[in-house]
């Protein structure tokens, strides 16, 4: 007798309530946040400065500035790299929106490079042909926690005298050639949003080893002033400034989570390995690639459907959503992380960020082409992927990973039941 899929009325593989929520909260978190609440400074307070010191030490950076988001840290990175009106910044065609909109935030122009299908990261072999005399920086995104081949990127950047920003918002603790991401480029941005591998609700961190870049980032971060609010302020605005500071309560939460992050990441990586072992050989699936010299954190365990093999190349995206519905009915929390590649987003196709076509209409700009035919690999990935975060996260263990794999097998082995 055939197993009936849950979507057709069968029994779900994963009982409701099995998957525990992220992040795990215990008394150490409660104490840190309450102590901050009972303290005297809820704005940029003592927990913020401590968080900066502790995060820099954990990641291996000289300097860190804590922010209210990863996006703020990315904008600071653009400024730290000396980018200004109509300068070009290279970015992968597939990522979170703000990997590219942070470029617009400083009136700079994104230049998209297609991705590599296996790693889902920027295709390093296509970076060099995107460089023009206007290029000031490259943003690499260690997507889904898989590090980019940074030795190759840094060699290109050195040759062309441009800076490298690491968008490490998904990649806490991931390593390339034994070194942590965020220490490999000129500066980097981390996010502490709810879904990231270090959660403080919202929040972020700008990191660098370069004192000049630190100073530029700091000005943007706090009203264009030159010092932190804990130092002696002259309240003078030296440069364009935003208000990107973190607050004490959030930083207290971030600090208590940081004490436990290594254990959380270890669990997540172990769970990903269990998932991979149990899914290997399932027909129609393309499992995550782990190239030599990379140690991913498996932030988002991304699976692609081999739609050519499944006979659905013609309706890949639509059929993918049907499989996802079947997986969801089995109790698998899986989703489509990005339904659009970045250059297809309206803001880029319209080439209008601030009105009147700025920054593309700037007299300092040179024309850029966002024809979508330039990004076939990003589009192919975009139409075929689904990704899981929660089933892999601590405190969930290998039992959940095994159940998740079982649900995937059930759906894929009975795919003829999906209409
Ligand atoms: C989450 C994320 C960001 C933005 O971080 P926020 O804290 O949400 O602003 C940027 N880039 C990538 C790749 C992300 O995943």
Q: What is the pLDDT of residues 49-102, one digit of tens each?
A: 999 999 999 999 999 999 999 999 999 999 999 999 999 999 999 999 999 999
Mean pLDDT within 323-330: 98
Q: Is the CB of 247 under 6 A from ligand 1?
A: no
Number of independent structural domains in the chain: 1
Query: Which residues of 135-242 form beta strands (DSSP E)?
Result: 135-141, 163-167, 175-176, 179-180, 187-191, 204-208
**The model's pTM:** 0.98
| pLDDT for 228 | 87
Q: Which of 191, 203, 204 is the pocket-test mutation for ligand 1 (most atoms within 8 Å of CB)?
A: 191
175 sits in which H/E element: strand 175-176
Average pLDDT, the chain: 97
CATH code for the domain in which residue 80 is found: 3.40.640.10
Q: Is the CB of 99 under 6 A from ligand 1?
A: yes
pLDDT tens, residue by residue, 278-303: 999 999 999 999 999 999 999 999 99
Cβ–Cβ < 8 Å for 324, 6: no
Tokens linked to 11:
């029994």
Three-state secondary structure readout of 268-280: HHHHHHHHHHHHC
The alpha carbon of 71 and the centre of ligand 1 are apart by a number of angstroms equal to 6
| Closest-CA residue to 391 (of 13, 144, 22) | 22
Inside any domain, residue 293: no
Three-class SS state of 91: strand
Inside any domain, residue 280: no
pLDDT band at residue 230 under the 50/70/90 scheme:
confident
pLDDT tens, residue by residue, 152-185: 999 999 999 999 999 999 999 999 999 999 999 9
Inside any domain, residue 278: no
Inside any domain, residue 70: yes
Inside any domain, residue 80: yes
How many angstroms separate the CA atoms of 187 and 134, rounded? Answer: 20
pLDDT band at residue 231 under the 50/70/90 scheme:
confident
Q: Is the CB of 141 under 6 A from ligand 1?
A: yes
| pLDDT for 419 | 84
Inside any domain, residue 318: no
Instruction: Provide the residue range defining the domain that includes 146.
Output: 27-259
Tokens linked to 305:
């459907």
Q: Is the CB of 246 under 6 A from ligand 1?
A: no
How many angstroms separate the CA atoms of 217 and 220, rounded? Answer: 5
Residues β-bridged to residue 137: 89, 163
Inside any domain, residue 204: yes
How many angstroms separate the CA atoms of 6 and 14, rounded? Answer: 10
Which positions ≥6 away from 45 have C-beta within 8 Å? Answer: 36, 39, 247, 248, 251
Q: Which of 67, 68, 71 is the pocket-test mutation for ligand 1 (most atoms within 8 Å of CB)?
A: 71
| pLDDT for 73 | 99
pLDDT band at residue 2 under the 50/70/90 scheme:
low
Backbone angles phi, psi at 305, to 5 degrees: -85, 135
Inside any domain, residue 76: yes
* Closest atom of ligand 1 relative to the 71 alpha carbon: 9
């Amino acid at each position: 007798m055939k197993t009936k899929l849950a979507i057709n009325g069968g029994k779900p593989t994963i009982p409701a309530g099995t998957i525990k929520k992220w992040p795990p909260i215990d008394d150490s978190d409660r104490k840190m946040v309450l102590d901050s609440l009972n303290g005297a400074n809820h704005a940029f307070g003592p927990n913020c400065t401590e968080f900066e010191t502790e995060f820099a030490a954990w990641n291996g950076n000289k300097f860190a500035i804590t922010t209210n988001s990863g996006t703020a840290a990315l904008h600071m990175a653009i400024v730290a790299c000396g980018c200004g009106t109509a300068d070009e910044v290279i970015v992968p065609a597939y990522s979170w929106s703000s990997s590219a909109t942070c470029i617009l935030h400083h009136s700079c122009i994104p230049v998209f490079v297609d991705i590599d299908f296996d790693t889902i990261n920027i295709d390093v072999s296509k970076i060099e042909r995107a460089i023009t005399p206007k290029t000031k920086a490259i943003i690499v995104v260690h997507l889904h926690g898989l590090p980019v081949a940074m030795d190759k990127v840094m060699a290109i950047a050195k040759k062309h005298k441009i800076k490298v920003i690491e968008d490490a918002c998904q990649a806490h603790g991931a390593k390339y050639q034994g070194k942590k991401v965020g220490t490999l480029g000129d500066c980097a941005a981390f996010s502490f949003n709810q879904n990231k591998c270090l959660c403080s609700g919202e929040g972020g961190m700008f990191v660098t080893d370069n004192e000049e870049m630190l100073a530029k980032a700091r000005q943007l971060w706090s009203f264009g002033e030159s010092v932190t609010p804990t130092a002696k302020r002259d309240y003078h605005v030296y440069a364009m400034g935003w208000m990107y500071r973190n607050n004490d309560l959030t930083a207290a939460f971030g600090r208590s989570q940081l004490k436990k992050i290594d254990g959380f990441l270890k669990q997540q990586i172990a769970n990903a390995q269990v998932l991979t072992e149990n899914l290997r050989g399932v027909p129609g699936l393309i499992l995550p690639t782990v190239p030599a010299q990379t140690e991913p954190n498996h932030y988002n365990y991304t699976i692609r459907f081999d739609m050519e093999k499944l006979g659905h190349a013609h309706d890949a995206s639509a059929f993918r959503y049907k499989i996802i519905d079947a997986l969801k009915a089995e109790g698998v929390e899986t989703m489509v992380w990005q339904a659009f590649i970045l250059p297809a987003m309206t803001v880029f196709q319209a080439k209008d960020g601030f009105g009147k076509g700025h920054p593309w209409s700037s007299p300092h700009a040179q024309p850029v082409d966002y024809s979508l035919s330039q990004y076939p690999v990003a589009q192919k990935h975009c139409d075929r992927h689904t990704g899981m975060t929660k089933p892999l996260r601590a405190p969930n263990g290998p039992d959940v990973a095994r159940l998740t794999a079982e649900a995937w097998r059930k759906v894929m082995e009975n795919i003829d039941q999906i209409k």
